[in-house]
Structure 1
Amino acid sequence: MTGATKYLLLATGLAAFILLGLAQAIFGPVLPVYAKSFGLQISSVGWLLSLFWGGCLAAVIAVYIFPSHLGPKWGLALAALGTALLALMHSWALVLLGGALFGAGYGVIAAVYNPRVLSAFGPRGPAMMSLLNAIFTLGAIAAPQIFLIFDRDPTLTFWLFTGFAGLILAVTTVMGDTRVEAQAETGVLRIDWPILGFAALGIGIESSLVGLGPTALVIAGQSEEQATGLLSLFFIAYLIARLSLVFIANLVPAFLLYITAMTLTGALAAGILLGGDPALLFPLMGFGCGFFFYGAYLTGLMRMGSSTRVSAIMLGAGLCGAIVLPILVTQALGFLGPKGFFIILASLTSALLVAALWAAPRLLRRKSL
């Protein structure tokens, strides 16, 4: 790989990961608007979030099966097509298709840029890959603000995303070949089911907070504008958590961070149920969410090995949680009153905390026996 190609890979990767951050944070504010525009219940529009993550999961599987055929251009093209359909708002069916295609683009981008940047920069690869995942949060912080600037108009917002994806795609056309060989497999793969479960539920909670949190805040009495602004504050706390990993990752076991994050998130949800101010407590949940993926993912790699197959399995488990849990939450919201989301959140985090404490002696050991 030439020097120019290497740095174009990094530059387009940084821009693409900002797009991923925009994607993750936009559905929370936009779901109530889609519900009003198409005359749907929240339980119905919640399918958009699950189809987005379903497209992402399908793309991750496809990249794993065809690692040399799907690259950055495919991911950006799918993202541009998906956001264009979301912007058109021609029908609810096309909006759902747009969400699935946008998710597929998200999955390809996430699956191909990380290993390619890691390989391209040699000893500096881990630092460059960390930079990609940190800048992701900038897009997540910006998305709600862009939505407010456009007066909560999904059409203008998603056309901007389409233009941004198209611009990055245009730059990748002058980039050389960035493909790397898949990491070789050695030994017998032993699945550690408990850590897969913790990964699925942890990322499912994160997806629910991001995708449904603003809607839950509106149901609890916040205005839609306030809820959108609180999501930006949530992602600022999320960014602080991600950046803190640079300093504490080598000092604190990954699964202990998962337990701490679950404890904090559950305590904040309980605080809202006991009368605490959601405008203060909801953004702080972003700090706990910032550790969910790292805590489960790294524990899985340490337990089962750091091969490509294990990485794909851990990512797939998290995506399964991101697909299923928001749908289950939306189906239950209508039966639990104005703070129903936080009842579900407090109950689920409490149950997970008990399970995590029970599993901790085994999962804190490095290798599966």
Structure 2
Amino acid sequence: MQTLPSLPDTAVRPDRSFSTPAVVASCIGFVLIGALQSLYGPALPALRQEYGLSPSGAGLALSAHFVGGVAGVLGFDRAFGRIGNRALLGVSYALMALGSVAFAFSPSWPLALLGALVTGFGFGGIDYGLNQLFATGFGRRSPAMLNILNAHFGIGAIAGPALIGLFGADRYPAVFTGFAVMAALLLIPLGGVRDRHPGGLPADTAAHPADQRARRTAALLTVFVVLYVLHVGVEAAVGGWEPTHLEAVGHSATLAASATSVYWLMLTLGRFLVAPLTLRWSEPAIIAVSCGGTALCLLAAVQPGLAPYAYAGVGLFIAPIFPTGLPWLRRAVPAARRAGALVIAASMVGGVAAGPTLGKVIELFEVRAVPAVLFALAALCLAATWWLARATRAPSQASGGPGSPLG
């Protein structure tokens, strides 16, 4: 019996890692992972009733999902370049499908948590895998494509709770099953993904001796990790604590909930809006403006009357940082092949830690302190961006001419 030959890369343009159908499928994949991450919260009342859980016990579902996400990022990175891109993405979609079905129909809570863990593992693989491939697969257009890709995550994050609201929390198994079917269908367009690992940029061995280069790489990677942990922490903290803060300063519960939805909508819109700007502005310039705007909006949120509008501004400004920073990271730290995995995994940890950490700060002070604390974190993001821009500036750009990273 003859075996079928492996699908060639002829469907993919020589200068790209994706065919057009594969780009569309990848964007749908990010809608999927955004929706899956956002489904656990709205499903909590039904989960507590079905399994007899406390609030903290039900919250373990999202924790299991994120633990799986970090494991998926690191696992995908270990196999990246050794196994074809299609196989890695295919396994990730399959794990999301299997995990979602297991979570939806588990007869016991421990098995449901295992399903969330498996779903998270596939989630991490898709999150890291597509971000990594988009960061290298479109040349100069990679920052724009990364912003468009990550904007679709926001679409999913908005759509997931809306679906639970439409069908009811007790129908969460049907919603999870629907997304499992979608994940399985996304296996079909993987033939449009280039299977070989894109070549990395050569290390700048001429400009820096070996020891100096190693120290420089470690310093750059450390500051990138700090930037990602802090900014994702701010992003997650605003989404989690904005309603509580707005109610504490006198706004109604309805307005607080609506303002939080607007925050996520503006975050999604911001990534679409910045995509064309990446073709004219450097990544450091975009991230510096984003961090500065985020900090100013959080400072404005200290004023109760301005807070709902200021949080919408936070969503708009903070949106481009995550996707725009990845191509910059790849160029700035070419010797560290695993740099992308480290910062994405660290950003997930930042998202998980943001809620309880800010909760402890609120216990020590009060909920009115939320925007002030987040302003300080955003200011640190701006300081990290400024340091990275100076550290990665080429000698010919030191004078701040047209090629300057911040010009």
In 1, the alpha carbon distance for the partners of 2:173 and 2:105 equals 6
User: Partner residue of 1:260?
Assistant: 293
User: Partner residue of 2:274?
Assistant: 245
List runs of 5+ in structure 2 lacking aligned partners.
1-8, 13-17, 206-213, 395-407
Q: Which has the larger radius of gyration?
A: 2
User: Partner residue of 2:3?
Assistant: none
Alignment of structure 1 residues 118-197 onto 2, 5 Å: 128-153=145-170, 154-169=172-187, 171-172=188-189, 175=191, 178-181=194-197, 183-184=199-200, 186=203, 187=205, 188=214, 189-192=217-220, 193-197=222-226
User: Partner residue of 1:48?
Assistant: 61
Q: For 2:322, give the aligned amino acid.
A: F
* Cα deviation code 1:203-245 (max 9, x no counterpart): 12323444x358848986966x987765543322112211221
User: Partner residue of 1:199?
Assistant: 228
Q: For 1:286, give the aligned amino acid.
A: G
In 2, the alpha carbon distance for the partners of 1:230 and 1:352 equals 22
TM-score (norm 2): 0.72
The alignment-based identity, stated in percent, is 23
* 1:62 Cα deviation from its structure 2 partner: 1.2
- Residue 51 of structure 1: SS of its match in structure 2? helix
CA RMSD of superposed structures (Å): 3.8
* 1:102 Cα deviation from its structure 2 partner: 1.7
User: Partner residue of 2:374?
Assistant: 349
* 1:256 Cα deviation from its structure 2 partner: 3.6
Contact 2:37 2:62 in 1 (8 A): no
Equivalent of 2:319, from 279, 284, 290?
A: 290
1:73 aligns with 2:90: yes
User: Partner residue of 1:23?
Assistant: 36
List runs of 5+ in structure 1 lacking aligned partners.
none
User: Partner residue of 2:388?
Assistant: 363
* Cα deviation code 1:151-177 (max 9, x no counterpart): 2332232122122212223x257x377
Contact 2:101 2:115 in 1 (8 A): yes
User: Partner residue of 2:119?
Assistant: 102
- Residue 3 of structure 1: SS of its match in structure 2? coil
* 1:58 Cα deviation from its structure 2 partner: 1.1
Number of equivalent positions: 357
In 2, the alpha carbon distance for the partners of 1:33 and 1:281 equals 34
User: Partner residue of 2:341?
Assistant: 312
* 1:105 Cα deviation from its structure 2 partner: 1.0
TM-score (norm 1): 0.78
Q: For 2:11, give the aligned amino acid.
A: G
